[in-house]
């Protein structure tokens, strides 16, 4: 008997389907549920209203990241609403028995940074979180899905999720990246190619030579922004790089026998030869240059040396209107280059680019140099663990000596709901994931880019190609 070749999504899906009744979505068993302060309070209220408990608090983990200040942690949270929300998370975790890495914990951090750090994120798992960037965990070959608050309540109550099976979308990145071109540039190039709705209803499976060559942190950067291409999840088949990252972490399988059994299970996850994807796209890594966005959604991106496109070249009338509106908001003109464009703030951080590898890249450029005058540069580590590592390695000293702010861990200016934000009209080069109108502060204008591009821009004070500043 021969079985149909399966994709990695098929394999994880099949293993986690509890039942699938005719006409109904599958009931999907969930291995890990990550919780934060912003999308959970109404879910916990729902449990209380129904008189329910959390089905599996020991498969649930919480942290405070979104509305938390990134200044001195010994100071109280001044925003009363944010303070209440963070305190409410602590009360909810206490009442329902959920482990919490809150403010003050040396494990606190952005939910998508601490999951992998703790070794909770493992291949083959189903992972959910009330956050659209949950796909980050897909870097480990897990099916990681962003969910809404009603679904958070559903998972808290039942440790399952009602879900229709997504279609698989193969993203093959062939060839090798040139120096100065990073994982962030790959994902921005993909989204620029397929558009922000291109992956709707699908899960991206990233593969190919360039993906295999990436570190786990770089793979997380790519999977993180799957939602920006419309896909609710994105994943990369696990390999030796994955296993080496997980090995020895606090929640990784312990003991030689358990570890070997786990790795053996994980080795069966990659898509079978001949498995069918609903859609497929190929990107040539060697042709990419550093990317930057010019508009108000992550699909409005281009190579850093290119010129802002003209609305007249849009494919249709609605595309023309959208680009016109975006350029008006950004106060940019068609045909204008972004290289050399004045910038007011550089933000290095977010669940996309706040890990130690990101900070090392930025620090390597900034070492012994100083940021431009009249420029605010914020470096916000993704977790307290990243912060401590960066301080041990001397990266924090490099940033501070360069004139950048070195802050506490959190989402910070990526979502700008904690007081870290740009002013109306300001230009921000940001390593985060969204350049929507007002995303980084009402009226603020975002150029999304890699940590290298952000660091080069911080030094020059204008949008700069990092390759010009890198040692030959």
Partner 1 sequence: MPEVFTSFTSKIIPLPAENVDTDQIIPARFLKTTDKSGLADALFRDWRYEEDGSPKAAFVLNRPEMDGRQVLLAGDNFGCGSSREHAPWALTAWGIRAVISSSCADIFRNNALKNGLLPIVVDRATHQRLFDMLATDPELEVTVDLAAQAVHLPTDEDIPFEVDPFARQMLLEGTDEIGWLMARQSAIDAWEAAHPPRVDTRPA
Q: Which residues ranging from 394 to 453 are in contact with partner 1 (CB under 8 A)? A: 415-417, 424, 434, 436-439, 442
Minimum distance, C-beta of residue 361 to partner 1, in the bound complex (Å): 27
Question: Using the rule CB under 8 A, is 384 a contact of partner 1?
Answer: no
Q: Which is nearer to partner 1, 301 or 466 (CB)?
A: 301
Q: Which stretch binds partner 1 (CB under 8 A): 20-28, 209-217, 304-312, 333-341?
A: 20-28
Q: Which stretch binds partner 1 (CB under 8 A): 17-25, 172-180, 273-281, 401-409?
A: 17-25
Question: Using the rule CB under 8 A, is 15 a contact of partner 1?
Answer: yes
Q: Which is nearer to partner 1, 248 or 394 (CB)?
A: 248
Residue 410 and residue 430: Cα distance in Å, rounded? 15
305-334 residues in contact with partner 1 (CB under 8 A) are 318-319, 321-322, 325
Binding mask 214-253 for partner 1 (x = CB under 8 A): -------------x--x-x-----------------xx--
Cα→Cα distances 140→8, 72, 172, 239, 242, Å: 11, 33, 17, 9, 6
Q: Which stretch binds partner 1 (CB under 8 A): 56-64, 304-312, 347-355, 360-368?
A: 56-64
> Cβ contacts of residue 107 below 8 Å, gap of 6+?
63, 101, 114, 117, 118, 383, 384, 385
Cα→Cα distances 466→182, 289, 293, Å: 11, 10, 15
Residue 64 and residue 103: Cα distance in Å, rounded? 7
Question: For tokens 């291949």, what's the residue?
Answer: 123
Minimum distance, C-beta of residue 59 to partner 1, in the bound complex (Å): 6
Q: Which stretch binds partner 1 (CB under 8 A): 50-58, 181-189, 354-362, 458-466?
A: 50-58
- Residue 46, phi then psi, degrees to nearest 5: -60, -45
Tell me which of 63, 108, 136, 160 binds partner 1, using CB under 8 A: 160
Q: Which stretch binds partner 1 (CB under 8 A): 35-43, 171-179, 214-222, 393-401?
A: 35-43
Cα→Cα distances 24→9, 20, 28, 182, 348, Å: 20, 7, 12, 42, 44
The string of DSSP codes covering 72-93 is: -TTSPP-SHHHHHHHHHHHHHH
Tell me which of 10, 56, 376, 388 binds partner 1, using CB under 8 A: 56
Tokens representing 425 are: 């009209």
Q: Which is nearer to partner 1, 131 or 465 (CB)?
A: 131
Q: Which is nearer to partner 1, 104 or 148 (CB)?
A: 148
Residue 297 has a CB neighbour count (10 Å cut-off) of: 19
Binding mask 77-116 for partner 1 (x = CB under 8 A): --x-xx-xx--x---------xx-----------------
Tell me which of 104, 197, 337, 394 binds partner 1, using CB under 8 A: 197
The string of DSSP codes covering 341-383 is: -B-SEEEE-TTTS-SHHHHHHHHHHHTT--PPTT-EEEE--SB
Minimum distance, C-beta of residue 263 to partner 1, in the bound complex (Å): 14
Tell me which of 157, 306, 334, 388 binds partner 1, using CB under 8 A: 157
277-306 residues in contact with partner 1 (CB under 8 A) are 297, 299
End-to-end Cα separation, the chain, in angstroms:
57
Minimum distance, C-beta of residue 151 to partner 1, in the bound complex (Å): 7
**Residue of 34, 131, 37 whose CA lies nearest to 79:** 37
62-81 residues in contact with partner 1 (CB under 8 A) are 66-67, 79, 81
Torsion from C-alpha of 215, 216, 220, 226, nearest 10 degrees: 80
Residue 399 and residue 371: Cα distance in Å, rounded? 9
Q: In what order do the strands lie in the sheet with 32-36?
A: 100-101, 60-63, 32-36, 126-129, 143-146
Tell me which of 8, 65, 140, 151 binds partner 1, using CB under 8 A: 151
């Amino acid at each position: 008997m021969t079985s149909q070749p399966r994709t990695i999504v098929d394999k994880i899906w099949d293993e986690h389907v509890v039942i699938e009744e005719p006409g109904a979505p599958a009931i999907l068993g969930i291995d890990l549920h990550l919780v934060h302060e912003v999308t959970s309070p109404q879910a916990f209220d729902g449990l209380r209203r129904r008189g329910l408990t959390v089905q599996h608090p020991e498969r649930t983990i919480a942290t405070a990241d979104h509305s938390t200040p990134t200044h001195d942690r010994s100071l109280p949270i001044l925003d009363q609403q944010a303070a209440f929300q963070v305190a409410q998370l602590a009360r909810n975790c206490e009442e329902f028995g959920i482990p919490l890495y809150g403010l003050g914990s040396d494990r606190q951090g952005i939910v998508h940074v601490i999951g992998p750090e703790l070794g909770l994120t493992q291949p083959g798992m189903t992972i959910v979180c009330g956050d659209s960037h949950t796909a980050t965990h897909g870097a480990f070959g897990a099916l990681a899905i962003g969910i809404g608050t009603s679904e958070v309540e559903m998972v808290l109550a039942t440790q399952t999720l009602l879900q229709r099976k997504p279609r698989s979308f193969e993203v093959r990145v062939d060839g090798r990246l040139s120096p100065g071109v990073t994982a962030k540039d790959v994902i921005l190039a993909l989204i620029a190619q397929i558009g922000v709705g291109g992956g709707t209803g699908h899960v991206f499976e990233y593969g190919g030579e360039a993906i295999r060559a990436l570190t786990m942190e770089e793979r997380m950067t790519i999977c993180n922004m799957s939602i920006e291409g419309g896909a609710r999840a994105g994943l990369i088949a696990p390999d030796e790089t994955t296993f080496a990252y997980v090995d020895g972490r606090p929640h990784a399988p312990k003991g030689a026998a358990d570890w070997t059994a786990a790795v053996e299970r994980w080795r069966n996850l990659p898509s079978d030869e001949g498995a069918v994807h609903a859609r497929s796209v190929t990107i040539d890594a060697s042709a990419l240059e550093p990317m930057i966005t010019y508009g108000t959604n992550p699909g409005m991106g281009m190579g850093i040396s290119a010129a802002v496109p003209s609305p007249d070249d849009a494919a249709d009338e609605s595309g023309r209107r959208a680009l016109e509106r975006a350029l008006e908001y950004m106060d940019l003109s068609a045909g204008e280059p972004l290289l050399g464009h004045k910038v007011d703030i550089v933000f290095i951080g977010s669940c996309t680019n706040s890990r130690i590898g990101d900070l090392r890249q930025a620090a390597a450029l900034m070492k012994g140099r100083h940021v431009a005058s009249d420029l605010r540069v914020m470096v916000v580590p993704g977790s307290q663990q990243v912060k401590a590592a960066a301080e041990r390695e001397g990266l924090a000293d490099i940033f501070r000596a360069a004139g950048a702010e070195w802050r506490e861990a959190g989402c910070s200016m990526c979502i700008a709901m904690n007081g870290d934000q740009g002013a109306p009209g300001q230009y921000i080069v940001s390593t985060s994931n969204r350049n929507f109108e007002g995303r980084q502060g009402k009226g603020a204008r975002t150029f999304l880019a890699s940590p290298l591009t952000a660091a080069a821009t911080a030094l020059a004070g204008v949008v700069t190609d990092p390759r010009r500043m890198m040692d030959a």
